[in-house]
Structure 1
Amino acid sequence: MAAGWLARGRPPGLNKRATMLLPQHLYYLGAGDEPWLDLMDNDEVADRVVMLNIGPGRTADENVWRADLRGSLPAADSDPGEREWQFRIDRGDGHLVHPLVAECFTTALQTVWVQDDELFAYRPAPEVSPPRVVKIDEFVGSLPTRPLYVNLPRGFDEHPERRYPVIYMQDGQNCFEAFVADSYVGAWQADLAAEFLIGQGLMQECIVVGVSHGQEDRMLEYLPPYAAFTPPSRRPFVKALTGENSDKPLARPIQPQAGRADKTVRYYQDEIAPYLEQHYRALQGRENRATCGSSMGGLFAVYTALEHPEFARNHAALSSSFWITRTRDGKLEMIERMRTGPRQDIRLWLDSGTRSAPNRGDDGMRETLKARDALLEAGYVPGVDFQYFLDEGGIHNEASWAARLPMIFQFLFPAT
């Protein structure tokens, strides 16, 4: 899986290095006999820098080595693709330090510590615990009680001074391979993607929280309040919407229900975010938050970006269900609001596949293209404010979304 992720490369528009911009120093904690830092270009050695022994390591066989580099730091607002550089370490004893799935590390980190074949933006503790997913079985709040899944990054226990940005993922029961048994459709493998990207210096250390949906209320929880949905006349929906709980015919037909996404955003902002800040050292502020979802969850991400930018600046909307906001005159209300509404300070990933299922549908490709065009008309700048991606052959399912997730995580919180 990791090799496949690496082969997909960087997010579109972020995968070319105009110049190699190097940090001032690189530190390596490990064994070696006069090691060298090999600076790479397209997987070939372009330059070599001797590494200096600056102190003892964790054991008698290790030392802390430093390479002094000649590069200059890039501008803080430069494109992440222009900040990437490549290297490996030649230990001098016949061993090379590089990722398991590539000939060299490719990273945008500008402070680099290498320990146990992973990259860090700080000096890590001697022993670093692996990432883990914590399940909160019953999170009680203003919306119906549901599970939360909290993916904590590596070293969470050993670095109590560190605080972390948060990616809020919709349909949380489908997000993590560690709890794939909780899903009936498969997992996005967000835990595996984050572990790989963070370890290779391609993504910031983040908390990824999966917020489960409200079962029968899912459609309404993710639907904007300016749109309506008429549920099927099935008992679970009837009970949720009317309180009736019998097998008798309905006393009245089910009426269209206005969306409740505004309430769901407040639930995220006023209840889940403070909980994570109190218990899991989550960073505060919109710059340190992202939302990510697919289908109706993607629609909710776009709604949050446009209508509640105070909550989060970064958003990813995969295979979004724009169709459900169609009005009687045939217009897609959400896309019209993208075109005519106030221009928000956001970063938005927008994508679709090309099939809703094998050999049929288009995964909302046409509507997503209209959404892209609406953003352009409104003055949003591709590569700066938003990124559009078409997944040729992608299907409306968890496997396709999982395949795109490494690009998306790098877009939401790229390594710095």
Structure 2
Amino acid sequence: MEQEFHRIKRLPPYVFAEVNKLKAEARARGEDIIDFGMGNPDMPPPQHVIDKLSEAVQNPRAHRYSNSRGIPGLRKALAGYYARRFGVELDPEREAIVTLGSKEGLANLAQAITSPGDIFLVPNPSYPIHAFGFIIAGAALRALPLADFDDDSVDFRRAFMHQMERALRHSVPKPLAVVLNFPANPTTRTVDLDFYGEVVEFCRHHGIYAISDIAYSEVYFDGNPPPSILQVPGAREVAVEFTSLSKTYSMPGWRVGFCAGNEKLIAALARVKSYVDYGAFTPIQVAATAALNGPQECVDEMRARYRERRDVLVRGLNAAGWPVAAPSSTMFVWAPIPEAFREMGSLAFSKLLLEEAEVAVSPGVGFGEYGDSYVRLALVENQHRTRQAVRNIKAFMRKACISEENSQAQKVAF
């Protein structure tokens, strides 16, 4: 029987699946694949967080259904974090909710607020759920292309606002919301508070919501902590913000995230969640509370670890003849495909890199069509493995260069 499921038909084949299949086949043959593909932290959570989980799980009552909005203590801990980090005072009852990671929260918010045909403005390239969460919910998207803004000579704020204004003029009906993600996955771009101020002013003037994702707000290297959109006066009239413990405390598998801000959107998300889940396992929420309220030296150590890996990878790739810029935030390097390989596109280049250098990366096209000239490398391998990957890539590029020179020589000879 041929399946005609409407929502499934709107989802293209998962680009990363092709690389993952080749990676699995290579490992089955005994090849040692160095994997920069997925942003999956390789270090455990802080010991005091693990200890709190172990303690909490001993309570016989902890195994009952939890609270889909999140236990009160964890919501208060989130409010405390926003007060310390951003100077933003949240009402933990009306302006904060716990999610099963930011990915689930974004998808359920999309289900809560989307009517068929609603238009959402989404940067391209972007983290897949930022686009497909709304597509699954029945929305139409208008892309905000970001690929042309990588040149430092471009005023990113002005260019982004131009894209917003253009999208507004040409969208019928008017867009319901714009999705923001800074520090950005995959592009690693950061913005300042003035950028958010202009976005909030635009959204308030035109009656558009802003949905911000700051999952990487604590992974920064240059001494300038990325801001929150909620720091802008009046932002909570139009904005909500998602964040997560996955990267900050190396807790990706625990699935703890948050949404904070506009109480109307928080209430809508809470309504949907009350029907579809009972919240994260209570001991995990208790341990997550300990992460936010406890000692934060572990966060400094996390930053130092990713900074060291970033420096090894970026220096090595540049020395190998692959020019890449050092990101100031996130756990990724967003690398333009070397000129000699650019025409083949990111998926073919990712396959070639896997086959010839035994290095796995994420093809940029998996984050949107405007990412097809890039690949993303996650800083999830230790320094020793990263140096080995650089050596493999250097050998691959030298071999490719020799092959190209021989090919050119043969053309001249004939």
Q: Tell me if both proteins adopt one fold, taking TM over 0.5 as the criterion.
A: no
More helix by share: 2
More strand by share: 1
Q: What is the TM-score normalised by the length of structure 2? A: 0.28
Q: What is the TM-score normalised by the length of structure 1? A: 0.28
Asked which structure has the greater RCO (Cα within 8 Å, sep 6+), the reply is 2
